[in-house]
Every structure is written in C-alpha cells, then in structure tokens.
Amino acid sequence: MGENLSSVGMTEDAVCVGDRYKWGEAIIEISQPRSPCFKLNKRWGVDDFSIDMQEISRCGWLYRVINPGVVAVNKPLQLIERVTNPLTVREVCDLYFGSPLEQSGLHKLQQQKRLSESWMSKVKQRLETGEVENWNFRLLGHA
C-alpha cells in the first residue's frame, strides 16, 4: 500500500490512463495521474513546489491492481493492453489541471472509461456545475 515504482522510460508522455501491465504474476493498470499536494512543498522545502509540478503536468500516476500476484523489483513491467482512445498521463493532467472547465477537454476525459471514479466524479461535477473544486488545501495545506 502506498508503494512507489520507478521505471526507466516510463514518463507522463509515454504512458496512458488505462494501460495495463504485467508485473511478475500481477496485472496493474494506470488509473489516474497523481494530484500534487502540499507534502511535496514540505519534503523539498519549496513553498509552491506542488503548484509548479501541477502546472507542468509532472504528476506521476497511480495504479490499480487488476490481478494480484507475486512481484519482484527485478521483473519488468510489460505493457499488455492499451485502450482504443488513449490519453497520456500528461494529456489528462493538461486537461484536468490546465483547462479544468474547457468543455471539449472534459468530454475527452469523460470518454476515458478506465479513469478512476474519484477523477471521473469531479469531471462530471465540473460539467454539471461549471465550477472547479478548491485546490488550496491539497496544494498548500490550508484553505
């Protein structure tokens, strides 16, 4: 739980939401970009680090486990499936954070059927209300 993976050649420009990977015996899937938070600021001692990372869409991503299994650090991640209408993690970040109320972008995000429910619910909420949720607490640690 909460483990970090680092892989050579895997960047926000190279991976897509919904990509499925075989890792050892497990199958994992990219479910959403990470949402930068104030903990980055504290960790690196830079006041607006979380804001800067969000602005340049260097967010990283989260996986969901599709099939659990034994994994090992020396086992490669092998791409086994990509959705038919892929958006890279960077494209998702650019739409979600960079143009959060642009209708065409929200509709593109809505078509990402493997996007996590938490992100999808915010996409739907933005389409319904025309408002963006307050990011201050997440980014800065205060309202």
The one-character DSSP state at 87 is -
Does 76 fall in a domain?
yes
Query: Could you tell me if residue 90 is inside a domain?
Result: yes
Answer yes or no: is 105 within a domain: yes
CATH number of domain containing 37: 2.40.33.20
Is residue 125's pLDDT more than 70?
A: yes
- Residue 135 falls inside a structural domain: no
pLDDT, position 4 = 77
Q: Which residue(s) pair with 22 in the sheet?
A: 27, 78
Q: 33-60, pLDDT tens digit by residue?
A: 999 999 999 999 999 999 999 999 889 9
Please say whether the beta carbons of 24 and 70 come within 8 A: yes
Distance CA 126, CA 36 (A): 19
pLDDT at 110 over 60: yes
With b for 16 or more beta-carbon neighbours within 10 A and e for fewer, the 105-138 pattern comes to bbebbeebebbbeebbebbeebeeeeeeeebeee
pLDDT digits (tens, 9 = 90+) for 1-25: 356 787 888 999 999 999 999 999 9
Position 141 in a domain: no
Angle between helices 103-110 and 117-129 (to 10 degrees): 150
What's the whole-model pTM score?
A: 0.92
What pLDDT does 3 receive? Answer: 60
Instruction: State the Cα–Cα distance between residues 132 and 129, nearest whole angstrom.
Output: 8
Residue 139 in any domain: the answer is no
Residue span of the structural domain in which 53 resides = 20-128
At residue 7, the pLDDT reads 83
The residue type found at 143 is A
Does some domain include residue 138? no
What is the number of domains present in the chain? 1
Model pLDDT, residue 1? 34
Residue-wise pLDDT tens digits, 83-96: 999 999 999 999 99
Q: Is residue 11 part of a domain?
A: no
